[in-house]
Amino acid sequence: PNNNVLRTELVVSDTAADNDRPTFEFLSQLVSMAQSMGIEPIGEDFVAVIHPAVEPDIIGLTEVKGIGYNYPEHLYKGEIARLCGIRFVKSRYGKLYLGGGKVTGAATTLAAAESSGDTSLNLTSITTPAIVAGDWITIGTLEAADAEQVQVISIAGGATDVTIRGAGNGANNFGLKYDHPAGAAVNEATNAAAICLLGANSVKGVYGADSGKFGVSVIKENIDSLNRLLSLGWKWYGGLGIVPKYVLRGEVAC
C-alpha cells in the first residue's frame, strides 16, 4: 500500500492534505493489514527495516516512542524507535527509490555525456517549473545501478548549465559518482521509500542434519610431527530465505 495510489504520485509538501510522508494513521493501517495477512509478530511487534532517509520522518512523529531503558528486550542493531507495534530498524539496505515519487520539475535529459567526477552538467532544455539552486535532481534510470542524486549549486545558460555537488568519485571530489551518457534522464522528483514489515514467519531457515541448528565444532589434534599443535574449526550447513507471502511493503515519500 502507498500513501497515495501510485508510487509515482507520492509527494512531500508543507500542506498536510498533500503530503505522503509516514503518518501514525498510515503505519496503523500497515499493522492492521499485516495482521489480516497472517504475518505473525515477533513477540508483540513487527520489525520494519527502513532507509536512513526515512529516519527523520519517523522520529519526528509526535506519537513515536523513544527507545533505550524503556524496554526490557535487547535492541536490534540500528533500532531507532517503536510505534504502532512496529520496531523500526535503520539500515543502508533499506529500500529507497531515488526520484521514484512525483516529478515536481519537468523531466529533462543530459545534452552531452558526463564523466565521473564532473561538477557541472549541460541539460537539453529548460524545465518548467525551472530547476533552481538548492534543488536535488536525480540522474539516470530509476533503480539502475548508476542512478544518483546531486544537489544544484548554481545555474547559468538559461537553466541548462548546472553546477552540482554530489558523492563524487574520490575523497576530494564532490561531483558525479558515475559516468552518464548523453540523453540520460534528469528529473526533480520526490524520493520514495519502502517500509517493509517483517514477522516471525517472514523468514525461514533450513540446516543440515549433520551440523544441526547451531553447527558443530571440529577439533583435530596432532597435526604436526611433535604433537604440539591442534586445529580448531566450526562448520554449519544451511541458509535463510524470505517468504514473500508474509512480507508487507508500504511506500512513503521522503
Q: Are 118 and 74 in contact (CB under 8 A)?
A: no
Residue ranges of alpha helices (H) inside 2-120 are: 24-36, 55-59
In the chain, what are the domain boundaries? Answer: 7-96+193-202+245-253, 103-189, 204-241
Tell me, what's the pLDDT at 14? 59
Alpha-carbon span 136 to 187, nearest angstrom: 9
Q: What are 95's three cell numbers?
A: 529500500
Give the per-residue pLDDT at 16. 59
Q: Tell me, which fold does domain 7-96+193-202+245-253 have in CATH?
A: hypothetical protein PF0899 fold (3.30.2320)
Task: Per residue of the chain (254 residues), give pLDDT as tens.
Answer: 556 667 777 777 655 556 788 989 999 999 999 999 999 999 999 999 999 999 999 998 988 877 765 667 788 899 999 899 999 999 999 999 888 888 776 678 999 999 999 999 998 876 666 778 888 889 998 778 899 999 999 888 666 789 999 999 988 899 999 999 999 999 888 888 999 999 999 999 899 988 888 999 999 988 888 888 999 999 999 999 999 999 999 999 88
- What DSSP state is assigned to residue 129? S
Please give the pLDDT value at position 171.
Answer: 87
Predicted local confidence at residue 70, as pLDDT: 66
pLDDT at 29: 92
Q: Max alpha carbon distance in the chain (Å)? A: 82
Q: Which of 87, 59, 84, 83 is nearest to 73 (CA)?
A: 87
How would you class 62 by CB atoms within 10 Å of its CB: exposed for 0-12, middle for 13-18, buried for 19 or more? exposed
Q: Which pLDDT belongs to residue 210?
A: 87
Gap between the Cα atoms of 108 and 122, Å rounded: 11
pLDDT for the residue 105: 66
Look up residue 93 and give its three cell numbers.
Answer: 539496505
pTM across the whole model: 0.79
pLDDT on residue 187: 85
> Rounded to an integer, what distance in angstroms lies between the CA atom of residue 171 and that of residue 120?
18
Say if 7-96+193-202+245-253 and 103-189 have the same CATH topology: no
Q: Nearest-CA neighbor of 48 among 37, 39, 36, 61?
A: 39
The DSSP output letter for 114 is B
At the second CATH level, the architecture of 103-189 is Beta Barrel (2.40)
Phi-psi region of 172 (alpha: psi -120 to 50; beta: other; left: phi over 0): alpha
